């Protein structure tokens, strides 16, 4: 039984590409299109809009591929603090290289990287710049501009954008993207528009921000899920006041766009005499809302995403010994959609296992709604046991059948504890899958179980203790949506991730 669909992927690809072409024609000259959110691997969108695939945006742009140039920007401060993409487990530095590879493999032109907010003492960023240049990319650096975004007179001058290096792009539809939020995409677009104007090139700006969805209400769960996703940035959704004043119509925007809009309007008026935009919403080209095919499905998916975000925030705060600031913000969002942590179907079954066994427990919800649990034993951790139990169920194998015999598990335990320095003899999920692969060479049932791995995509998982990075990585690679209670299995000061 497939997961329910709430979003029309093909309609989106058609409508969105046509609308971008139309906006480009309206602007005339070169168009810098800020791609809000992630251009590729947009996992958040795929979770709250079931049917929206992680590559949906890039698939849409493929219709315009021969006209498009992609410019990647990255905040130097994110390089300095080694910021990591949580959904992929890689640094922003690595993600820039990965994204360029992905874009080029799909036939897109990518030659320029912008490092924003770069200061002289940031040696990590300067080293990365040299690395990019050695592999043939052109790198421009943008400085921190005092008074940004309020001091428009300074920003739109030789002492503001004029101090930034100019990326000399060659195409007239330039998509500006980044590994994550706070990378300086808008400032990059405006700086490029400024320099193009100085060089006699007419250029304009538009924004494709997936969330919040402007034509959905402020309190729609899809928009509230975005607020939960950006709780660590202190972003909030707001009614666009400029749109309300200009058109007497309430639409949804968010605080950063509203804050920076006066700068954009001032700049366009200063360079060209007038601005085509009366509001932040006018800047947008987002047609995601028009492609929602089942609002109820998207509402429930968003409620579940908010709950997942809440659990993740609690775990992050526990790991890093932080105050409950982010989780408290998300808790407020949960209240707005009428959700509780226990509304996540896998939470109570996992906790019931832990209560009964007095050891960590886990649970997975399969596509047809079946709940499968796993308990901790001498041989297996609860996540590994749950994974085996789920594969057996999907393959129609009797629950009493042992896919892995104790004799095949014990040598792995000996290797772990006697030679690899592990204190935990139980098999993790990666070790179970490797053992199952070996067993499949001689066992038809093991082969049948392995064939079911693809059916774990998008299944919900909950564990009653914080997962290590290995199990987290396996669940991520399988496309499973996992949460954990903010509890460590052992009471100790140091916990290996």
Reported as a single tens digit per residue, the pLDDT across 141-169 is 999 999 998 899 999 999 999 999 999 99
For the segment 358-377, what is each residue's pLDDT rounded down to a tens digit? 999 999 999 999 999 999 99
End position of a domain, from candidates 228, 258, 293: 293
* Gyration radius (Cα) of the chain, Å: 25
- CA dist 389 and 296 (Å) reads 31
Last residue of a domain, which of 293, 319, 334?
293
Q: 207 burial class (0-12, 13-18, 19+ CB within 10 angstroms)? A: buried
**Same-domain check for residues 364 and 224:** no
Q: What is the pLDDT of residue 490?
A: 61
Task: Tell me if 233 is assigned to some domain.
Answer: yes
**311, part of any domain:** no
218-227 tens-digit pLDDT: 999 999 999 9
Where is the domain boundary, 293, 312, 332? 293
Q: In what order do the strands lie in the sheet with 361-365?
A: 371-375, 361-365, 460-463, 481-484
**254 and 377 together in one domain:** no
Measured between alpha carbons, how far is 243 from 253 in angstroms, rounded to an integer? Answer: 10
Assess whether 460 and 382 both reside in one domain: yes
Is the pLDDT reported for residue 344 higher than 90? Answer: yes
- Token pair recorded at residue 89: 């487990």
Tell me, what CATH number does 41's domain have?
Answer: 3.10.630.10
Q: Which of 152, 173, 155, 172 is nearest to 164 (CA)?
A: 155
Residues 462 and 383 grouped into a single domain: yes
> Measured in whole angstroms, how far is the alpha carbon of residue 40 from the centre of its chain?
9
Whether the Cβ atoms of residue 483 and residue 421 lie closer than 8 Å to each other:
no
Whether residue 1 is contained in a domain is answered as no
Residue 3 domain-assigned (yes or no): no
Same-domain pairing of 419 and 352? yes
- Give CA–CA dist 176/300, Å, rounded: 32
Q: Can you read off the two tokens belonging to residue 132?
A: 């990019």
Q: Are residues 162 and 53 in the same domain?
A: yes
Q: Same structural domain for residues 225 and 363? A: no
Is 183 within the bounds of a domain? yes
CATH number of domain containing 404: 3.40.140.40
Instruction: Return the structure tokens found at 228.
Output: 């939960």
Structure tokens at 225: 């899920």
Q: Report the predicted TM-score, pTM, of the whole model to 2 decimal places.
A: 0.87
Q: What is the pLDDT of residue 50?
A: 96
Q: What are the pLDDT digits (tens) for 191-216?
A: 999 999 999 999 999 998 889 999 99
Let me know whether 377 and 479 are in one domain: yes
Same domain, 274 and 349: no
Range of the domain at 71: 9-293
* 325: in domain: no
State the total domains in the chain: 2
- Please give the residue that has the higher pLDDT: either 415 or 322: 322
Both tokens assigned to 258 = 């509203």
Per-residue confidence (pLDDT) for residue 491, from 0 to 100: 57
Encode pLDDT of 40-88 as tens digits.
Answer: 778 899 999 999 998 888 889 999 999 999 999 999 999 998 888 877 7
Question: Do 270 and 129 share a structural domain?
Answer: yes
Domain-located, residue 281:
yes
287 and 410, same domain (yes or no): no
71, 166 contact by CB (below 8 A): no
Is 277 within the bounds of a domain? yes
* Strand stretches in 257-360, DSSP E: none
User: What mean pLDDT is predicted for residues 230-240?
Assistant: 88
Q: For the beta carbon of residue 465, count every other beta carbon within 10 angstroms.
A: 22
* Pair 22, 150 in one domain: yes
């Amino acid at each position: 039984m497939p997961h329910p669909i709430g979003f029309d992927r093909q309609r989106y690809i058609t409508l969105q590409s046509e609308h971008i072409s139309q906006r480009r024609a309206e602007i005339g000259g070169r168009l810098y299109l800020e791609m809000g959110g992630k251009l590729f691997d947009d996992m958040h969108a795929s979770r709250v809009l079931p049917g929206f695939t992680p590559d949906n945006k890039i698939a849409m742009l493929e219709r315009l591929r021969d006209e498009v140039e992609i410019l990647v920007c990255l905040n130097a401060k994110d390089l300095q603090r080694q910021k990591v993409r949580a959904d992929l487990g890689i640094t922003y530095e690595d993600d820039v290289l990965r994204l360029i590879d992905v874009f080029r493999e799909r036939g897109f032109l990518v030659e320029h990287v912008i490092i924003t907010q770069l200061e002289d003492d940031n040696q990590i960023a300067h080293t990365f710049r040299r690395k990019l240049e050695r592999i043939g990319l052109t790198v421009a650096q943008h400085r921190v501009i005092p008074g940004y975004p309020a001091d428009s007179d300074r920003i739109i001058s030789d002492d503001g954008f004029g101090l930034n290096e100019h990326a000399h792009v060659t195409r007239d539809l330039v998509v500006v993207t980044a590994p994550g939020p706070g990378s300086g995409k808008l400032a990059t677009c405006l700086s490029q528009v400024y320099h193009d104007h100085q060089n006699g090139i007419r250029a304009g700006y538009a924004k494709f921000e997936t969330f919040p969805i402007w034509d959905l209400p402020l309190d729609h769960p899809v928009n509230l899920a975005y607020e939960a996703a950006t709780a660590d940035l202190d972003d909030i959704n707001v009614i666009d006041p400029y749109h309300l004043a200009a058109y007497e119509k309430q639409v949804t925007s968010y605080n950063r766009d509203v804050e920076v809009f006066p700068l954009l309007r001032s700049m366009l008026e200063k360079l060209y005499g007038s601005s085509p935009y009366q509001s932040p919403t006018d800047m947008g080209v987002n047609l995601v809302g028009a492609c929602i095919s089942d609002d109820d499905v998207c509402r429930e998916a968003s409620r579940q995403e908010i709950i997942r975000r809440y659990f993740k925030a609690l775990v992050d705060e526990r790991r890093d010994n932080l105050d409950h600031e982010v989780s408290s913000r998300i808790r407020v969002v949960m209240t707005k959609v009428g959700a509780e942590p226990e509304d996540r179907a896998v939470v109570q079954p996992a906790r019931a296992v832990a209560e009964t066994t007095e050891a960590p427990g886990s649970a997975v919800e399969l596509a047809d709604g079946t709940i499968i649990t796993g308990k901790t034993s001498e041989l297996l951790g609860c996540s590994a046991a749950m994974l085996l139990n789920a594969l057996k169920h999907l393959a129609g194998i009797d629950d009493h059948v042992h896919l892995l015999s104790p004799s095949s598990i014990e040598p792995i335990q000996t290797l772990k504890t006697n030679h690899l320095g592990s204190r935990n003899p139980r098999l993790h999920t990666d070790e179970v899958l490797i053992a199952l692969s070996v067993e499949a060479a001689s066992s038809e049932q093991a082969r049948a179980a392995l064939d079911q791995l693809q059916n774990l995509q998008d299944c919900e998982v909950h564990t009653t203790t914080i997962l290590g990075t290995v199990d987290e990585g396996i669940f991520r690679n399988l496309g499973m949506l996992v949460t954990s209670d903010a509890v460590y299995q052992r009471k100790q000061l140091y916990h290996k991730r």
